[in-house]
Amino acid sequence: MRTAVEGDRLSETFAALANSTRRAILGRLAEGHATVNELAEPFAMTLPAISKHIKVLERAGLVVRGQRAQYRPCALDAAPLEEISTWAEQYRPVWEARFDRLDDYLKQLRPQRRARAHDG
C-alpha cells in the first residue's frame, strides 16, 4: 500500500505544479520567506486568489507556513521537488538515447560529407 500512497503524493505534487502562477510563487519563495501580502503584490492578484494557490501548494507539502498569528510567513519546502526530479531522472537513459541516435546519425553523415567533398 505504501507505493499507492507515494503515488498519490506524487500526483498531488504534479497537480500543484501544473499552474504557472504556483510555479512563480515557488520561484519567489526560493529567494526567501514571504507573507501572503508580499506574494500577492508582484503577481497583481487578489489576496483570495493567491491564498487559494498557496493552499494547493501547502497541501502538496511545497509550502510551509509559520505559526506567528498575524503574518504566518510562507516558506518553500523543496523536498517534493527532489522527488519529482528523482522520478524524472529515471527516464534519463531514454532521453539520452535520443541524443545518441542523433549523434550516430551525424556520424553517419560525416563520411558521406567527406566523400562528397572529394567528389567535388
Binding-site ranges for a second copy (CB under 8 A): 4, 7-8, 10-12, 14-15, 17-20, 23, 26, 30, 76, 78-79, 81-82, 84-85, 87-89, 91-92, 94-95, 98
User: Nearest distance from residue 45's CB to a second copy, in Å?
Assistant: 16
Q: What single string gives the DSSP state of each residue in 2-22? A: HHHHHHHHHHHHHHHHSSHHH
The span from the CA of 49 to the CA of 37, in Å, is 11
Which of 21, 60, 56 has its CA nearest to residue 42? Answer: 21
User: Nearest distance from residue 36's CB to a second copy, in Å?
Assistant: 20
Which of 2, 22, 24, 14 has its CA nearest to residue 88? Answer: 14
Q: Which three cell numbers stand for residue 24?
A: 512563480
User: Nearest distance from residue 62's CB to a second copy, in Å?
Assistant: 10
User: Nearest distance from residue 37's CB to a second copy, in Å?
Assistant: 23
In the bound state with a second copy, the residue whose beta carbon lies nearer, of 98 and 110, is 98
In the bound state with a second copy, the residue whose beta carbon lies nearer, of 23 and 113, is 23
